[in-house]
Amino acid sequence: MNSTAYSGAVRDAADGTRQLSDKVLQSAHDAVDTTRDYANDALDNADRKVRGMRSRLDPAIDEWTATAQRLARRSLDFASDTGTRAQQSLHRCADATERYVTEQPVKAVLIAAAAGAVLAALAVSAAKKRPQVPRY
């Protein structure tokens, strides 16, 4: 084999190797591009599903929030009304007591004295029943 033929064969082998490596490199680029496209499609599908779920959940959350606010408002209104009714009842009792004392002062003083005596007797009785703590 002469050197010209040998160098032609080497050149042909190098060109074939170069072409083969170019094809392998192009196939790798194509595989990367295809994988990227699949990944983008998968992410787009996931994004659509998340947005769909969110669009279904947002109205439910808004409704729950509105219901909680309505219940809180009703509770506050009920507490306010109850407080107002208690105040009115207390004022009616105070007015009735004032009228009774004005109309029957002697009887009112006797009732107050009797109530005071009962309370004093209860206090003394409770103090006597309490165990004595030794003092050192």
pLDDT in tens, 89-130: 999 999 998 998 899 999 999 999 999 999 999 998 888 877
Model pLDDT, residue 73 = 92
Residue 63 lies in domain: 3-102
Q: What is the total count of domains within the chain?
A: 1
pTM (two decimals): 0.41
Q: Does residue 122 belong to any structural domain of this protein?
A: no
Model pLDDT, residue 77 = 92
In tens, the pLDDT along 32-90 reads 999 999 999 999 999 999 888 888 888 888 899 999 999 999 999 999 999 999 999 99
Q: Does residue 89 belong to any structural domain of this protein?
A: yes
Q: Does residue 19 belong to any structural domain of this protein?
A: yes
Model pLDDT, residue 107 = 92
Q: Does residue 113 belong to any structural domain of this protein?
A: no
Q: Which residue has the tokens 């680029």?
A: 29
Model pLDDT, residue 24 = 86
Model pLDDT, residue 136 = 64
Q: What is the DSSP string of 45-114?
A: HHHHHHHHHHHHHHHHHHHHHHHHHHHHHHHHHHHHHHHHHHHHHHHHHHHHHHHHHHH-HHHHHHHHHH
Model pLDDT, residue 133 = 64
Q: Does residue 125 belong to any structural domain of this protein?
A: no
Write the CA distances from 73 to 56, 69, 78, 108, integer angstroms.
27, 6, 9, 44
Confidence label for 5 from pLDDT (cuts 50, 70 and 90): low
Q: Which two tokens mark 62?
A: 């808004």
In tens, the pLDDT along 11-37 reads 878 888 888 888 888 988 989 999 999
